[in-house]
Amino acid sequence: VSELDLMSADVLAAALTQAQALKRVSKAVEGVYSDALAQRMPSLEPIILRWLLQQLATAPDGTIPRSVKRVWGSCPALERVSLLDALLQHWLAQDGNPKLNWLLRLLPLGGDDRLVGPLQDAVKAWYKKRKPRAVQAVKALASIDTTFALSQVQAISETRKYTDVLIQAAREELQRAAQRRQIPLRNLYDELVPDFGLGNADGLALDVGPYAYRVVLRGDLSLQVINPQGKTSKSLPKAKAGEDPLLRADVEARFKRLRKDLKTVADQQLKRLPGLLMSGRSWPAERWCKQFTEHPLFRSLAQSLIWSRRGPDGTVLGSFRLAEDLSLIDYEDEPVELADDEQIALWHPIDSDTTVSEAWRQHLDDYALSPVLAQVDLPVLRLQPEWQKEAALIAYQGHTLSMGKFKGLMARWGYRVGATEDGGYIYEHVLVLEEAQLQVELVHTAMPAWFDQDHTIALDRMTVYAIADASRKQYGVKRGQGIEPQQLPPAMLSMLLAQLQELAQSGEGYRADWGKL
């Protein structure tokens, strides 16, 4: 008998003594406990499980009694996940009744990615009419604290359809996760990309008993299955004689979940790229190499992207991409070496002259690469004196377009609708750049809160604000004070001007009476 087994026996013996001394359990516990629930955790006697639930139900908010932690830690991991799943399903079946929030307290002590989906579904079901319960579901999701769970909290924080209350709750949970890890929030975003076990050179092994299938991630972000003979396919081969039925069932469930979760995370990262480019997000060379050559998903994304090398003072030193063999090359296929003091950022055409842009266009064509971000096609716009008034951009002020076209472009770029004011009209749209801790506010003439395809909207002004102490210090501004456009990174300024230009070109042109709309 191992020392660990003896410790577990002591813990359970102490718990049994306390359980036997318990005279009664609350109605809340009676409503949760059942023989079926006890079967989820066979390593515990039913009387101990009832005692454990009673301790959870009566403990002060946000706490887990030490005795419960000790008993919980003595149970097998698979049993813990199984019980957590049952408790979560009971909470969901009761529509997230706040009186049953104690059922979620153990999620930080064993919850895994299998519980993410049900909580995501709860957020989607409750965010309109049951906002407090949706917020609680977000907190529960964050408490699981795995890479995938937090990545889905991040997705909630960036989803335009959700309410400000829900988005703020998600952001606060991400801040707490960064604090637990003692890292900046923007570094947390880099880490919230699970590799799903695909980071090994041989890929992910799916054991079916006598042998295992290997799963690898291809450059187009699709999965490839390799059987023991080396034959490849896009899906799992049919079950064969000799395979363990239980292992086979687990492998099929894992592969199905992997395919779904990989698409979710890949889509999330693709949506993140324009914000990274606009924010001017950069990585130290060593961190960039680790992030984009070792992580399977980032590695696949990085190969069709163009990257900019910058010196310690921000000077652009050149550009490169990640080749298929994971070497670094420029547009002439010449090798590139990064110095330790360099910073790496996504390349924007404003970083170079037109000959470089055309050279990269030809290079990508030669390699038949379909970029996930069309960098070479981005317009280069520089600030003109007449386009600025104090801290606001007024380029294309007074140009009009229909509500239908306006809303379509706002959605494409990730803007959220501003507050609805008197009369049911909206006068601004907002884009939050989390990486840079900035917020872009586009002010326009009245837009009805209801959809009117042909309603005319006129552009007014665009202002960028710092939304955190660090970014306010960086730009030397106070809370509520706009940042002077010439202070913004050139790529950000060019992309914002390009948005105003596209809005103007999508409409009917300038109207002298635009202020009356």
Q: What is the pLDDT of residues 249-305, one digit of tens each?
A: 989 999 998 998 888 888 888 888 999 999 999 999 999 998 888 888 888 888 889
- 190 in helix, strand or coil? helix
How confident is the model over 420-443, as a mean pLDDT? Answer: 93
The single-letter code of the amino acid at 273 is L
Angle between helix axes 245-279 and 147-157 (nearest 10 degrees) is 40
Residue 5 clears pLDDT 80, i.e. is over it: no
d(CA 2, CA 300): 46
The continuous run of DSSP H or E covering 206 comes out as strand 204-207
Q: Rounded mean pLDDT of 463-482?
A: 94
pLDDT band per the 50, 70, 90 thresholds, residue 4: very low
Angle CA(401)–CA(405)–CA(411) in degrees, nearest 5? 130
Q: Are 405 and 424 in contact (CB under 8 A)?
A: no
pLDDT at 37: 96
User: Which of the four CATH numbers 3.30.310, 2.40.50, 2.60.40, 3.40.50 does domain 385-516 have?
Assistant: 3.30.310
**How far apart (Å, rounded) are the C-alpha atoms in residues 288 and 308?**
12
What average pLDDT score do residues 28-46 get?
A: 94
User: What tokens appear for 488 in the block?
Assistant: 């913004």
**Using 50, 70 and 90 to split pLDDT, how confident is the model at 1?**
very low
Given a cut of 50, whether residue 8 has pLDDT beyond it is yes
Give the rounded distance of the alpha carbon of 127 from its chain centre.
18
Please give the structure tokens belonging to residue 457.
Answer: 């909207």
- Asked if residues 435 and 189 have their Cβ atoms less than 8 Å apart, the reply is yes
Helix (H) or strand (E) holding 446: strand 438-448
pTM of the model: 0.77
Round to whole Å and give the CA distance between 215 and 169: 36
Question: Whole-angstrom Cα distance, residue 230 to residue 205?
Answer: 13
| Average pLDDT score over residue span 394-400 | 98
List where CATH 3.30.310 sits in the chain.
385-516
Give me the pLDDT at residue 365, please.
93
Residue 308 clears pLDDT 90, i.e. is over it? yes
pLDDT tens sequence across 120-175: 999 999 999 999 999 999 999 999 999 999 999 999 998 888 988 999 999 999 99
Q: What pLDDT score was predicted for residue 6? A: 42
- Tokens linked to 131: 């906002």
pLDDT at position 2: 40
Q: Is the pLDDT of residue 430 over 80?
A: yes
Determine the pLDDT at residue 158.
85
Instruction: Give dist(CA 18, CA 7) in Å, integer.
Output: 17
Confidence of residue 361 (pLDDT cuts 50, 70, 90): very high
